[in-house]
Amino acid sequence: MQPADIENRFAFHAAATQDKRDAHTSVRQQCRLLADELNELLPDSREKSVAITKLEEVMFWANAAIARAGSEAN
């Protein structure tokens, strides 16, 4: 792994454009809608908790992809 890759992974990536801010908002909203639906559909269980946690991970990685776009280390 290159030092520039480490730098990119741990740097702060502010949403500098309205398009990026809107994309972050859209990801959060869509994940929230699915979380609400799963919460209603699934019985309370460990599996439900894991599903919701994994959805949080989806949100994190999707937003990381948006934030890091254009600043990837090659």
pTM attached to this predicted model: 0.82
Fill in the amino acid letter for 61.
W
**Overall residue count recorded for the chain in this entry:** 74
- Cα separation, 66 vs 3, whole angstroms: 21
Q: Based on the number of CB atoms within 10 Å of its own CB, is 62 exposed (0-12), middle (13-18) or buried (19 or more)?
A: middle
Q: Average pLDDT across each block of 10 residues of the chain; the chain has 74 residues. List them in order.
A: 87 90 96 96 97 96 91 49
Q: Are 21 and 11 in contact (CB under 8 A)?
A: no
- Tally of CB atoms within 10 A around 66: 19
